[in-house]
Copies of this chain bind each other. A is one copy, B any other.
Amino acid sequence: MNEEEQQLNKVLMLFYFGYRTFTEKPDQIIEKYGIQRVHHRILYFIAQVPGITVNDLLSILEVTKQALNAPLRLLSEKNLIKMVQADYDKRYKLLYLTEQGKQLESKLSHVQREQMKTIFDSLGSNHQKAWIDVMNALAKVRPGQQQFNTQINKQRH
């Protein structure tokens, strides 16, 4: 096995350890708010697509509505998100962050941005671009990613 193959062999380990480091700090912060990683994820995507519907959100996350229902309810109870009935179609519930929700999401995003920024700054901006390119290649095949892109394009109109 040559050097390149040995490098590739370590990818599983890098993903395992890398993901753990990446989620560690936000996990600690949100714990104090009585929520978990799935709630963080939801806050994140609502921040990216304010006014997204429940159905569209679960398409992005690639989970069932049952998996989303309880976390959404908890976030609503904790006053981190609000659900607004759409006036063009009362069946739709549009999801938004509350002021509190915006503050928390911003705090969490900031922590994760800083963590990555520290690494990218020490390695150089080429590394940042390259890392994002590779992750994007993995992400772009996901139905959830494609759904996300669709939602973002909708917003621009």
Contacts and interface: CB of A to CB of B under 8 A. Distances in A.
Interface of A: 4-5, 7-22, 41, 44-45, 48, 62, 109, 112-113, 116-117, 119-120, 122-123, 125-128, 130-139, 141-142, 144-145, 148
Contacts of A22: 11, 15, 138
- SS of A interface (majority): helix
Nearest to A130: B130
A100 to B, nearest CB: 20
B17 A113 contact: no
B113 A5 contact: yes
Nearest to A44: B12
A139 B44 contact: no
B41 A138 contact: no
Nearest to A5: B113
Given A126-B130, A127-B133, A17 B120 contact: no
A128 B135 CA distance: 11
Given A11-B113, A62-B20, A134 B127 contact: yes
B139 A18 contact: yes
